Amino acid sequence: MMSDDGIRSTYRSYNEWFSEQDNRRLAKKSAQAEALFKRTGITFNVYGQSDAEERLIPFDLVPRIVSNSEWSKLARGIDQRVRAINAFLHDIYNRQEILRAGVLPVKLIAQNDAFLPQMMDFSPPGGVYTHIVGTDIVRTGEDEFYVLEDNARTPSGVSYMLENRETMLQMFPELFSKIRVQNVGNYPKNLRRSLEASAPASCNGRPTVAILTPGIYNSAYYEHSFLADQMGVELVEGHDLRIVDGHVAMRTTQGYRTIDVLYRRVDDEYLDPLTFNPNSTLGVPGIMDVYRAGNITIANAPGTGVADDKAVYSYIPDIIEFYTGEKAILKNVETYRCSEPDALKYTLSNLSELVVKEVHGSGGYGMLVGPAASKRELADFADKLKAQPENYIAQPTLSLSTVPIFTKKGLAPRHVDLRPFALVSPDGVDITPGGLTRVALKAGSLVVNSSQGGGTKDTWVLED
């Protein structure tokens, strides 16, 4: 809601504080924050760069502020979505009612690379498939939100949610006494509790949880070590693990110790060389057998990718209705599946106004932002589309809302998205009030991915 002076009511208190600040002091704080991130080693590695250079994600010191009522709606919408997605996954890997009912075309599943036949006729411990979900959301207007992606595999970015808040608390403690912001700091504790609650039924005593990382050269390694540290659990790699007496066990200084819940940050394909990619050294040979025997929880379950594929995405409103009997609370962006001839035709003739994405792509790679593309880029992309239409979906460019960022010349508007994090366990769904706000630092740009020069900012959900 805007008032006469053009300031959203949620930003009113912040703006009062901001107008009393000296720009030079803030610029200094901004540099300090960067130095702190560097010293702490909050960096990511960029794929495809030979020098394996570690980079910082730029941090903007103006928080993105969401009112409690907007948040409540968002949270209800996310809750509904993740429940439906879990029901969908269980159905797809068991009775496949939704296919029999004709709500979803069979080939969408049958020809889906993320669908794992090894998961058929199996129910993971507690019936939970997606223990951690990071739903990408954009706001286009007052109380108007669209879901961009469901990220049901291994969403990353939660460490930035936590570190950004920590940094704000350190830099501007006075703001938090002036403005009441909901706490995000319990996330690691809640994550551990949620993972423990998802332990196999056969597990006695307090479950042993571990995080499986591909190693220190992975782009999200910082996050893996951060979460292990914050939860107080071991951070393991494939070569630390082996199967001992039908359980997955980690090599400790005192011998092998059983793991009950493995929060893996390794993709399905690399999880078990005996079942999937035989050349993988990142996984654990035989873990799928242990899993199917019910002796370990893998979070998220293998094969969840079938629910967050961009073609399946376009059916999520139907999926929600099928399993919950409710209308979707959060909207989907209108999506043209280029595998359908009419949609392809429409996409090709409106290319300069659309965003076209690879069905299996992520991280902002391989996508076309029509309005920002040159004639040449449009023509090239049209060729790619015609060659393999089933690889692409197209969406209208939304008039994304902007929020202010701090620049040397004062505040300036930039486009943002929001990734809140939901934890799912047999005990229920827990959504941390806040999330990762990614911001396109270039004026006018709609691409917020860190791999494409985006930044982050703290996200505040106000108390009532």
Partner 1 sequence: MLGKTAGGLYWMFRFLERAENTARLLEAGFRIALTRSTDAEAEWKSVIITLAAQQGFEAKYDTYDSTHVINYLLRDADNPSSILSVVNAARDNARLVRTALTSEVWMSVNETWMQLSDILKHQVREVDLPDVLAAIRQQTALVRGALNGTMLRTDVYRFCQVGIHIERIDNTARIIDVKYYSLLPATSIVGGRLDNVQWETLLRSVSAHRSFRWAVDEGFTGPAIANFLILDTRLPRSLIFCSKEIVSNLAFIEQAYGERAICHDQADKLLQRFSNREISTIFEEGLHEFIGSVLGDTANLGYQIEKDYRFNI
Binding residues for partner 1, rule: CB under 8 A, are 38-41, 216, 221, 225, 228-229, 234-237, 239-240, 250-255
CB-based contacts of 385, cutoff 8 Å, min separation 6: 338, 344, 347, 348, 351, 356, 392
Q: Give the shortest CB-353-to-partner 1 separation in angstroms.
A: 45
Residue 427 CA to residue 430 CA, distance in Å, equals 9
Q: Fill in the DSSP letter of residue 18.
A: H
Q: Give the shortest CB-256-to-partner 1 separation in angstroms.
A: 9
Q: Give the shortest CB-403-to-partner 1 separation in angstroms.
A: 31
Q: Give the shortest CB-212-to-partner 1 separation in angstroms.
A: 12
Residue 82 vs residues 73, 77, 132, 191: alpha-carbon distances, Å: 14, 9, 9, 16
Residue-wise over 226-265: b if at least 16 C-beta within 10 A, else e?
bbbebbebbbbbbebbbbeeebbbbeeeeebebbbbbbbb
Closest residue by Cα to residue 26 from 456, 407, 402, 442? 407
Complex with partner 1: residue 60 or 196, whichever CB lies closer: 196
Complex with partner 1: residue 160 or 460, whichever CB lies closer: 160
Complex with partner 1: residue 195 or 301, whichever CB lies closer: 195
Closest residue by Cα to residue 320 from 145, 126, 82? 82
Residue 316 CA to residue 318 CA, distance in Å, equals 5
Mark out the alpha helices in 207-350 (DSSP H runs): 221-231, 268-271, 287-292, 310-313, 316-324, 341-349
Complex with partner 1: residue 254 or 374, whichever CB lies closer: 254
Mark out the alpha helices in 287-402 (DSSP H runs): 287-292, 310-313, 316-324, 341-349, 375-387
Q: Give the shortest CB-216-to-partner 1 separation in angstroms.
A: 5
Complex with partner 1: residue 216 or 443, whichever CB lies closer: 216
Complex with partner 1: residue 206 or 375, whichever CB lies closer: 206
Q: Give the shortest CB-248-to-partner 1 separation in angstroms.
A: 14
Q: Is the dihedral of CA 337, 338, 344, 350 positive or negative?
A: positive
Complex with partner 1: residue 199 or 259, whichever CB lies closer: 259
Q: Give the shortest CB-232-to-partner 1 separation in angstroms.
A: 8
Q: Please name the residue that has the structure tokens 């599946």.
A: 337
Q: What DSSP line would sit under 382-428, residue for residue? A: HHHHHH-GGGEEEEEPP---EEEEEETTEEEEEEEEEE-EEEEETTE
Q: Give the shortest CB-360-to-partner 1 separation in angstroms.
A: 30
Q: Give the shortest CB-240-to-partner 1 separation in angstroms.
A: 5
Q: Crossing angle, helix 158-171 and helix 23-40, to 10 degrees? A: 130
Given a contact cutoff of 8 angstroms between Cβ atoms, the answer to whether 416 and 435 are in contact is no
Complex with partner 1: residue 213 or 391, whichever CB lies closer: 213
Complex with partner 1: residue 40 or 202, whichever CB lies closer: 40
